[in-house]
Amino acid sequence: MKPLVTDELWEMVAPLLPRRRPQPKGGRPWVDDRATLNGILYVLRMDILWKLLPTGLGYGSGVTCWRRLREWQRRGVWKKLHRAMLERLTAADKIDWSRGALDSRSLPAEGGRRRWPEPHRQGEAGVEAPRPHGPAGHPARRRTDGGERARQPNARPAARRGAADPYRAARAAPPPAGEVARR
């Protein structure tokens, strides 16, 4: 299969990647960054799960590619690459800026006043953010597990337990008329 990372692209990406630290204790051999980038692009292009990346292609395992993608994301490699590609395309006059669009997420409003403090800037001047109401709004009563309770595999609603369990239903039913209940 033809590699997805061309020499021209690799010349742009290679200087942006973090340097690999030597492993004094040994360990598994490091998969080449270029091969890993090929693996990342293969997974994204073919729209497959990471664990389904064929190791026979020489890109490393899907887990290796995923870890490297995560590490590069945390170190800002993709933002730097995006900036470098935009600068290169702008210098070559390959971008038609007449069709560009901006929204409020990419450019802040001029002279606009924030109504609510941003979550990561607590204590900032502005109108206080509304507090949640009701019993779940109290900090001690908030669920920290994502809001859903874990279901037990064999749990049934209490109202249906007797009807669904024939043994329990037989024990709970009153004896027929004329028979004495035995215990």
DSSP state of 108: P
In a domain, 40, yes or no: yes
| 137, 141, 142, 146 alpha-carbon torsion, rounded to 10° | -140
Q: How far is CA 163 from CA 103, 153, 158, 160, in A?
A: 58, 18, 10, 5
The whole-number average pLDDT for the span 96-105 is 78
In a domain, 62, yes or no: yes
In a domain, 60, yes or no: yes
The model carries a pTM of 0.53
Q: How far is CA 79 from CA 13, 83, 132, in A?
A: 11, 6, 36
In a domain, 160, yes or no: no
Residue 183 has pLDDT above 80, yes or no: no
Average pLDDT, the chain: 76
Q: Which of 110-114, 141-145, 164-168 has the highest mean pLDDT?
A: 110-114
Burial of 72 (0-12, 13-18, 19+ CB in 10 A): buried
Residue 45 has pLDDT above 70, yes or no: yes
Instruction: Identify the three-state secondary structure at position 164.
Output: helix
Q: Which domain holds residue 42?
A: 33-94
Residue 79 has pLDDT above 60, yes or no: yes
In a domain, 55, yes or no: yes
In a domain, 180, yes or no: no
Residue 78 has pLDDT above 90, yes or no: yes
- Identify the pLDDT of residue 77: 94
In a domain, 176, yes or no: no
Residue 103 pLDDT class (50, 70, 90 cuts): confident
If one counts the domains in the chain, the total is 1
In a domain, 11, yes or no: no
- Identify the pLDDT of residue 176: 67
